[in-house]
Amino acid sequence: MSEVLSIGEWSTNAQLIADVARLGYLDGTVLDATYGEGGFWKVWRPEGLITNDLYKPAMWREDYRDFPPWVGGFDAVVFDPPYKLNGTPALGEQDDRYGTNRRTSRDEVMEDIRLGAIECYRVCRRNLLVKCMDQVEGGQMRWQTDMVSETIKALGGRKVTRFDIPTAGRPQPPGRRQLTPRMKHSTLLIFEKRPRGTTV
């Protein structure tokens, strides 16, 4: 069996998740807070998977930013929010699939991700996995990975690793001078929940 690398040639999220599972980050009960069409679980699926989505068929239909108080204690929580900013052209069917077909501001997208990360961290017992993407929007870098990492660190969590997943990206529009490097990858951040008061 090949080694699991932090930057791989996964062609799907499902292949990535299968490798993440090999490293033990998805042992035990798992909540997929943003199940969508279940694409993460087409190669490997945990026995104790609970699915949640407000807009697609799932076991639960809860808002990932505000789970009921009784929700909690999952060994791992997977959070793949709609993280595309509005600086890129509409992607049609892909926008529908990922829930990014409604117009929102950059600040609204970032706040939605932040609130979801906080709530998903609350309901996890051991590991939180967050999919996000640093993006160029409005001529500037928007560092979603930094924002999520700082949010979870403020709650006492510890980032243990990250996986960078190459994507097709979108080509530079013709006739435009390129000012920033193209960010042709998304990122899966993995955090460990630590008991309150832990300092290491």
The reply to whether 144 falls in a domain is: yes
pLDDT value of position 175? 78
Q: Residues 35-66: pLDDT tens digits?
A: 999 999 999 999 999 999 998 999 999 999 99
In a domain, 5, yes or no: no
pTM of the predicted protein model: 0.86
**193 located within any domain:** no
Give the mean pLDDT of 120-124.
Answer: 98
- Confidence (pLDDT) at 1: 67
Whether residue 52 lies inside any domain: the answer is yes
Rounded-to-integer distance, Cα 119 and Cα 122, Å: 5
Q: What is the mean pLDDT of residues 184-188?
A: 85
Mean pLDDT of the chain: 86
Q: How many CA atoms lie within 13 A of 39 on its CB side?
A: 12
Q: How many domains does the chain have?
A: 1
What ranges make up the beta strands (E) of the chain?
Answer: 30-32, 49-51, 74-79, 124-132, 135-137, 140-142, 158-166, 185-192
CB 76 within 8 A of CB 30: yes
Whether residue 87 is predicted with pLDDT greater than 50 in this model: the reply is: no
Domain assignment of residue 188, yes or no: no
Mean pLDDT, residues 9-30: 94
The pLDDT of residue 200 is above 70: no
Would you say residue 186 lies in a domain?
A: no
Residue 72 reports pLDDT greater than 70: yes
- CATH number where 43 lies: 3.40.50.150
- What is the average per-residue pLDDT within 117-121? 98
Are 6 and 50 a contacting pair, CB within 8 Å? no
Q: How confident is the model at residue 112 (pLDDT cuts 50, 70, 90)?
A: very high
Domain of 74, in residue numbers: 13-169
Q: Report which of residues 91 and 135 the model is more confident about.
A: 135
* 177 Cβ contact partners less than 8 Å away, ≥ 6 residues apart: none
Give me the mean pLDDT over the 97-108 stretch.
66
Query: Is 195 a domain residue?
Result: no
Has residue 82 been placed in a domain? Answer: yes
For 131-177, write each residue's pLDDT tens digit. Answer: 998 887 777 778 899 999 999 999 999 999 999 988 766 666 677 77
Mean pLDDT (whole number) for 2-13? 86
